[in-house]
Amino acid sequence: MARGRFITFEGIDGAGKTTHLAWFRDKLVEKLAPSGHTVVMTREPGGTPLGETLREILLHQPMDLETEALLMFGARREHLAQLIEPALARGDWVLSDRFTDATFAYQGGGRGLPRDKLEALERWVQGGFQPDLTVLFDIPPDTASERRGAAREPDRFESETDAFFTRTRGEYLRRAEEAPHRFAIIDSSQSIDEIRKQLEKIIARL
């Protein structure tokens, strides 16, 4: 079977991407059923037993910024080796809630870690590997803040300021501008129905 494809969902906390992940997976399963491809859904940080352990540490334990970035990429290397790369080699399609763009956005844009350090880690951990498609849910930080306020108890990232998320959003958009062939940007301030119409068009083009 031909190599599978790797699709990622990205966006600042409160952008609403998680609302659409399972729906998108189900639609993708329907589309791929005749070809025999399986869809694997995963997340970052996480996706493996080690990655999930690191996720709990990253979301809830204070740490130095460089430690944070190194742990993110450590979890990612394990994710690639244990789940993503084997799945793609089998012909599965992989759908991930976040990947490397999130690290550039949060640790780079939001927290201010120099981009060259992140680029060095990206080359070391991934080589030239990138998603085949990244769906970026874009939303003004103040709107995202209102949504986060109505959700569960915030973790270490969700409790950040609007200024932090403004910087994070800016880095996401910079990454999208650098790789327009890879990104599909969704205005996630729209209604769920409007967003899903756009996602259906994306699925139709895959």
pLDDT at 149: 63
Task: Point out the least confidently predicted range of 22-31, 87-96, 151-160.
Answer: 151-160
Does residue 2 register a pLDDT over 90? no
> Taking 90 as the threshold, does the pLDDT of residue 145 lie above it?
no
The average pLDDT across 30-58 equals 95
Instruction: Please tell me the predicted confidence (pLDDT) of residue 143.
Output: 86
Q: Which two tokens stand for residue 19?
A: 């609302």
Q: Kindly tell me the burial class for residue 116, based on how many C-beta atoms sit within 10 Å of its own C-beta (0-12, 13-18, 19 or more).
A: exposed
Q: Is 69 labelled a binding residue?
A: no
- The stretch 87-109 carries a mean pLDDT of 97
Helix, strand or coil for residue 156? coil
Residues 127-156: b if buried by 16+ CB within 10 A, e if exposed: eeebbbbbbbbbbbbeebbebbeeeeeeee
**pLDDT per residue as tens digits for the range 59-79:** 999 999 999 999 999 999 999
**Residue 72: alpha-carbon gap to chain centroid:** 12
- Please give the CATH topology (third level) of the domain spanning 6-205: Rossmann fold (3.40.50)
151/97: higher pLDDT: 97
Q: Which amino acid does the sequence have at 17?
A: K
Q: Is 12 known to sit in a ligand binding site? A: yes
Average pLDDT over residues 29-42: 94
Letter for the amino acid at 122?
Answer: E
On the question of pLDDT at 152 being above 70, the answer is no
* Residues contacting residue 83 through CB under 8 Å, at least 6 positions apart: 40, 42, 47, 48, 94
| Burial of 177: CB neighbours in 10 Å, binned 0-12, 13-18, 19+ | exposed
Q: Is pLDDT above 90 for 160?
A: no
Task: Confirm or deny that 11 is annotated as ligand binding.
Answer: yes
> Which token pair is 87?
């799945």
Task: Tell me how far the alpha carbon of residue 156 is from its chain's centroid.
Answer: 17
Confidence of residue 1 (pLDDT cuts 50, 70, 90): low
Residue 109, annotated as binding a ligand:
no
CA angle 60, 176, 81 (to 5 degrees): 55
Whether residue 14 is annotated as binding a ligand: the answer is: yes
Mean pLDDT check: name the lowest of 15-19, 104-108, 143-147: 143-147
Q: pLDDT value at position 16?
A: 87
Dist CA 72 CA 102 (whole Å): 10
Would you state the structure tokens that stand for residue 78, as one six-digit string?
């394990």
Residue 31 among known ligand-binding residues? no
pLDDT at residue number 3: 87
- Res 155: pLDDT: 72
Residue 148: pLDDT band with limits 50, 70, 90: low
The HSE-up count of residue 42 (CA atoms within 13 Å, CB side) is 29
Domain ranges across the chain: 6-205
Residue 28 pLDDT = 96
